[in-house]
Amino acid sequence: MGMPLTGMTLKNLFRKPATKMYPLQAPQYSSRSKGHVTNIIEDCILCGICEKRCPTHAITVDKAAESWTIDNFNCIQCLSCVRACPKKCLVMEPEYTKAATSKSTQTVTKPALSEAEQAAKAAREQEKQERIAAALAKKAAKQVAEADTANE
Ligand code: SF4
Ligand code: SF4
């Protein structure tokens, strides 16, 4: 029993250390590591589905401020938000959240629209309102016609 142990000890004396000099030596993450969630905010429609699906309430969506916030210290890397996002703009990055002495959140805000984009958005909204008004008018006319038929 003594000999194999001595051999092992001697071998390990001349081997490279198994541990890394973290943080001096940057860690290598596998591409499948579940590190932290990020949002490609340009594609996000602020629908709030990710916020509702998150079991630890790590995500906050603020429609008025057009912002998306995550508390990576509350995230348990379950991927529910990534799977549920209808725009596929949430990404599980392989790097782990850096250790810190206090919790913090990360917020991303939708970039300001150019004048042309604002005009296009306003035109889309007006078109939408007109479609809704037309549908309501059609429904009301149908109800009046049905009431007239019933009274005959
Ligand atoms: S589910 Fe996707 S599109 Fe909806 S708010 Fe979350 S990140 Fe944005
Ligand atoms: S991965 Fe899971 S815990 Fe983390 S933010 Fe998404 S839904 Fe929440």
Same domain, 42 and 63: yes
CA-angle at 110, arms to 55 and 31, nearest 5° = 55
**Domain membership flag for residue 144:** yes
Q: Considering the entire predicted model, what is its pTM?
A: 0.72
Task: Indicate whether 80 and 48 sit together in one domain.
Answer: yes
Residue 87 alpha carbon, nearest atom of ligand 1: 3
- Is the CB of residue 81 less than 8 Å from the CB of residue 59? yes
Look at ligand 1, atom 6, and give the residue with the nearest C-alpha: 50
Domain that holds residue 122: 113-152
Q: Which residue do the tokens 């889309």 mark?
A: 124
Instruction: Write down the pLDDT at residue 45.
Output: 96
Is 40 part of any domain?
yes
Ligand 2 pocket, 53 CB below 6 A? yes
Q: Is residue 64 part of a domain?
A: yes
The count of domains in the chain is 2
In order along its 152 residues, the chain shows pLDDT tens digits of 556 888 888 888 888 888 888 878 888 888 889 999 999 999 999 999 999 999 999 999 999 999 999 999 999 999 999 999 999 999 999 999 888 999 999 999 999 888 998 899 899 999 999 999 999 999 999 999 888 888 77
Claim to verify: residue 48 and residue 58 sit in the same structural domain: yes
74: domain CATH number is 3.30.70.3270
Are both 95 and 83 inside the same structural domain?
yes
Query: Does the C-beta of 85 come closer than 6 Å to ligand 2?
Result: no
Residue spans of alpha helices (H) in 1-114: 2-14, 49-53, 80-84
Q: How far is the CA of 120 from the centre of ligand 2 (A)?
A: 34
**Are both 37 and 88 inside the same structural domain?**
yes
Q: Are residues 101 and 45 in the same domain?
A: yes
